[in-house]
Structure 1
Amino acid sequence: IETAVSTGAWILLQNCHLSASFLPQLERIVEEFPLRDVHPDFRLLLTSMPSPQFPESVLLNSVKVTNEPPRGLRQNLLRSYLGFDESFLEDHPKPTAWKNMLFALCFFHAMLLERRKFGPLGWNVPYEFSQSDMQISIQQLRHFVGAFDQIPWKTLKYLAAETNYGGRITDPWDRRLINYLIDDIYSPEILEEGFCLSASEGIEVPPATFTLEEYLDFIREMPTEESPEKEHGGMTTKRGSMSIASKMTGAVVFIFYK
């Protein structure tokens, strides 16, 4: 850093939250910048998870950028399908069941993430559901649908709602909720053409004959303004979401010290 200040180089320090003992020294270095002849091209880039040890003065004097999952059902679905390739979709012994259930599972994942924006009206506890939860659920879905003559609905429900996503859940009412939601996703009706995932928006499971590009086009044509019904909420939850969003404005520093 000392050399880069003079030469105009860029310095990247990754995962600062893992070096708590270095953070006080980093704070002193940053506080001395105004007293030094800093090269105009110099940049100090820091990456960190939220941490109470991260120096407040560094945060306040930095340009802050957050990396978060995309917001909205459509964007979350799009993110999921952009991670697939054509062979992943097509190379399966039961293509209709596999592709229909895969779309429903991705919708389920997006729905769980979207419920978080409603605060305690969505989940009693703000769980950090992740891409890894979805990825392991997809792997299990692909295996179990292809390995058995009859789809093991109870097994798939248990793995998703009690093990993969459910492994993060601590509140009993939240556990009841996720089991209620998975019942709509892993059910024989999902194999029927035109099964409706959202009555309010008329979103149906796309035809299993779709190619990957057709799935992406289908998702891109979904409405951007979602109804709270799709997350099994209501207008109260929508107002709650707006209130939470307004309170979060400018709260990056608070998040680090929460």
Structure 2
Amino acid sequence: MRKLHLITYTLSTNLNTRANSSSAHTPIPNLQSIKISLLESEAADVAKEVKETDIVMQEVNQVTAQYIPFTQASSSIFFILQQLNVLNHFYQFSLQEWETFLNSTNHENVVSTVWPDASSALDSICQLLLLKCLRPNRMLSGIAIYVSKVFNAKFLVESSYNFHSVVTNKINSLIPVRLCSVPRDDASYRVDNLVAFTKSQCALIAIDSQEGYRLANQAIAAAIQTGSWVLLKNVHLASSWLSQLEKSLQSLNPPKSFRLFLTMETNSSIPVNILCQSVLIMNEPPPGIRAHLVDCPQSISPSRLATGPKEKVRLYLLFAWLHTVVQKRLRYCPLGWSKIYEFNDSDLKAAMSMIDLWMIDPAHLPWAALWVLLRQAVYGGGVNSNWYQKLLDSFVDSLFNPGAFEVGYHLVNPISDKEGLIIAEGSQLEHFVTWAQALSKREPPHWLSLPPNTEALISTTHTTRKLKATGLSRHGAPTQAQANLCVSMVVHPGWVLGSSSKHSVPQAMACQLGPVAPKFLVVSGFQNLVTFIEDELVGEAPNQAKTSSDNTSSQPGRMRQMERTSKEFLKSLNPNLPDLNLESNNLNDPLFRFFEREIALGQKVLAVIRKDSIELIAVCNGEIKQTNPLTSLIGEITRMIPAH
């Protein structure tokens, strides 16, 4: 700005000098006139830039002003901590621990112990509250740490099992085996691998129609006669037929070698009797890149490895990596992919089948055919976005080329200060598993070709969704039970030195603070915690209902906002809609009758909205008690998604 003003001043000075140098009684020469015109043009351009800069600076000042309340609150907390030694000489606090917390990337691991005298479980809850207020994107990781502390360190560790041992030793022929999985995850490959390993006979039936019901009954009857196995897929689509199956199984007397496998998605329509009668094996996709790569070899049957050259394992690893990248990017939708595409284990099976068919000599592998099938059929068949199709093409081109068989081949190329990822060396499947187990548990987003802040964005979104579901978010109204839980577990007398709430310490201790004590003075210096808890509670307990509407300053911020919103609704809505002219000629017109019905319906909805708004205002003023319908309505109005 100073530079632009200086240029404007210089141009004005030059313009005045040029004008004064010419004679007052003679015309200005052409050269002098041209120079003055150029100076005027430059001055106009500079003035335009100054005006545009002023507009930009106004916008910057407006954005900066939004952060002023936060900076003032932060500075108030700092000076409160610094001045606590006025009360007692031993009130000396170090802010270095909080500096470590704010500068860390894994904030959930370095949350300071705010209340040293609290129990471990209570202190963990306090740390979760701090994470929600200061670092909401790390809330889910903090919840995982809290669960491991309350139960034990191994509670969240996935337990492994031997599927072959379960099928052959731990169940009998009368007990079906249920393989449940989440959508887009197929668990039937476990049965396929077991059939290939034991060389058993297994009939495969897909339950998706009446014809499938008939074939399934025939296959079960034939398997009982021969003692073979039956695999029924997608039985969640035939919940009514499952009830008949459960009754028929009770009347059968199959041989010991008979086994019945049922694959299904988690669905509440599955009959309870079949759930109680069968053995449940829950299959969920591994949570990360490392876990997915470790789990992938289980889907490779020994018969695949028995044929072909040793380089086939390297291609299996490349397919596993491509499948992992494609699937794990779904977690970051819409950043990873534009929508949730149906990528599942059948795609990986199809890709490996191509290798089994074509991998005879690595030197003559048809790379072009491999590219086309992967791009357009295996993975690209369901991608309907040109940009994401090009992204998938780049993944295929970078992984599948003759250089993949070289030593030190990069699965992920290094980017500036970020290290790349080199493919596993060796020709055995065990080398692949060992390499996958040695990968870092902290998987950087650039492994999936995503920006560095992707994890933070997704973590924030997931945390917001979880908090909305529990009702303890600013976007949802908590129930009365949740409100009581917050009051009893969070606002503890030992945490607050002085407070106007019923949970404060004795009045004698509060009086020692003197007139300069703030409304909320927390031992740790985190002033906004109690304010946050009171603002989160949309309604108070029934025995705490206010009897006077004049004391609006004691209302929580959410209640004041709700009252303003309800009054705006009442002000903007007309009491009644205009009635139509009911004449005999008009009643014969079908279009008139249509509008008459719509207006009548609108009047009913308008009356309900006005009634709800009046009741919300009464709740905010403490005139009536908060009921369950009003609690639901408060949550809907807060999210601005009313169900009227």
Q: TM-score, normalised to structure 1's length?
A: 0.68
Is residue 91 of structure 2 the alignment partner of residue 91 of structure 1? Answer: no
Which stretch of the first structure deviates more once superposed, 76-85 or 243-252?
243-252
CA offset digits 1:180-218 (Å, max 9, x no partner): 111111112111111011234543222233x32232122
1:127 match = 341
Residue pair 1:161, 1:179 contacting (<8 A) in 2 also: yes
Alignment of 1:69-84 (within 5 A): 69-84=285-300
Q: Which structure would you say has the larger RCO, counting Cα contacts within 8 Å and 6 or more residues apart?
A: 1
For the structure 1 residues 21 and 146, does the alpha-carbon distance in structure 2 shift closer, same or farther, using more than 3 Å as the test? closer
Percent same amino acid at aligned positions?
22
Is residue 322 of structure 2 the alignment partner of residue 108 of structure 1? Answer: yes
Residue pair 2:297, 2:433 contacting (<8 A) in 1 also: yes
CA offset digits 1:62-83 (Å, max 9, x no partner): xxx9853112111111111123
1:237 match = 454
1:221 match = 438
Residue pair 2:290, 2:439 contacting (<8 A) in 1 also: yes
Residue pair 2:308, 2:359 contacting (<8 A) in 1 also: no
1:176 match = 390
CA offset digits 1:118-157 (Å, max 9, x no partner): 1111000111211110011011023223268522111101
Amino acid at match of 1:231: L
Is residue 357 of structure 2 the alignment partner of residue 139 of structure 1? Answer: no
Amino acid at match of 2:425: P
Distance 2:300 2:264 in 1: 29
Residue pair 2:383, 2:389 contacting (<8 A) in 1 also: yes
Residue pair 1:118, 1:244 contacting (<8 A) in 2 also: no
- Tell me, which stretches of 5 or more residues in structure 2 are unaligned? 1-174, 181-234, 243-262, 273-280, 470-644
- Tell me, which stretches of 5 or more residues in structure 1 are unaligned? 1-9, 23-46, 59-64, 253-258
Amino acid at match of 1:213: E
Q: Pick one of 388, 396, 406 that aligns with 1:192.
A: 406
Q: TM-score, normalised to structure 2's length?
A: 0.29
Rg (Cα) greater in structure: 2
Amino acid at match of 2:451: G
For the structure 1 residues 86 and 18, does the alpha-carbon distance in structure 2 shift closer, same or farther, using more than 3 Å as the test? closer
2:376 match = 162
In the alignment of these two chains, the number of paired residues is 207
The CA deviation at 1:99 is: 2.2
CA offset digits 1:4-39 (Å, max 9, x no partner): xxxxxx9999945544899xxxxxxxxxxxxxxxxx
Residue pair 2:424, 2:431 contacting (<8 A) in 1 also: no
The CA deviation at 1:235 is: 1.8
For the structure 1 residues 201 and 81, does the alpha-carbon distance in structure 2 shift closer, same or farther, using more than 3 Å as the test? farther
Distance 2:176 2:313 in 1: 45
Distance 2:298 2:411 in 1: 20
2:195 match = none
Task: State the SS of the aligned residue for 1:184.
Answer: helix
Amino acid at match of 2:398: D
The CA deviation at 1:103 is: 0.8
Residue pair 1:133, 1:165 contacting (<8 A) in 2 also: yes
Task: State the SS of the aligned residue for 1:249.
Answer: helix
For the structure 1 residues 180 and 151, does the alpha-carbon distance in structure 2 shift closer, same or farther, using more than 3 Å as the test? same
Residue pair 2:317, 2:432 contacting (<8 A) in 1 also: no
Task: State the SS of the aligned residue for 1:133.
Answer: helix
Amino acid at match of 1:77: L
Which stretch of the first structure deviates more once superposed, 213-222 or 143-152?
143-152
For the structure 1 residues 171 and 128, does the alpha-carbon distance in structure 2 shift closer, same or farther, using more than 3 Å as the test? same
Amino acid at match of 1:230: W
The CA deviation at 1:88 is: 3.2
Residue pair 1:72, 1:114 contacting (<8 A) in 2 also: yes
Amino acid at match of 1:170: N
Q: Pick one of 397, 414, 429 that aligns with 1:212.
A: 429
Distance 2:295 2:362 in 1: 29
Task: State the SS of the aligned residue for 2:325.
Answer: helix
Distance 1:216 1:156 in 2: 25
Task: State the SS of the aligned residue for 2:293.
Answer: helix
Task: State the SS of the aligned residue for 2:338.
Answer: coil
Task: State the SS of the aligned residue for 1:197.
Answer: strand
Amino acid at match of 1:140: M
Amino acid at match of 1:70: P
Task: State the SS of the aligned residue for 2:339.
Answer: coil
Distance 2:336 2:355 in 1: 26
The CA deviation at 1:243 is: 2.7
For the structure 1 residues 87 and 250, does the alpha-carbon distance in structure 2 shift closer, same or farther, using more than 3 Å as the test? farther
For the structure 1 residues 202 and 104, does the alpha-carbon distance in structure 2 shift closer, same or farther, using more than 3 Å as the test? same
The CA deviation at 1:84 is: 2.7
Which stretch of the first structure deviates more once superposed, 135-144 or 10-19?
10-19
RMSD: 3.5
CA offset digits 1:222-244 (Å, max 9, x no partner): 11111110100112322232134
Amino acid at match of 2:449: H
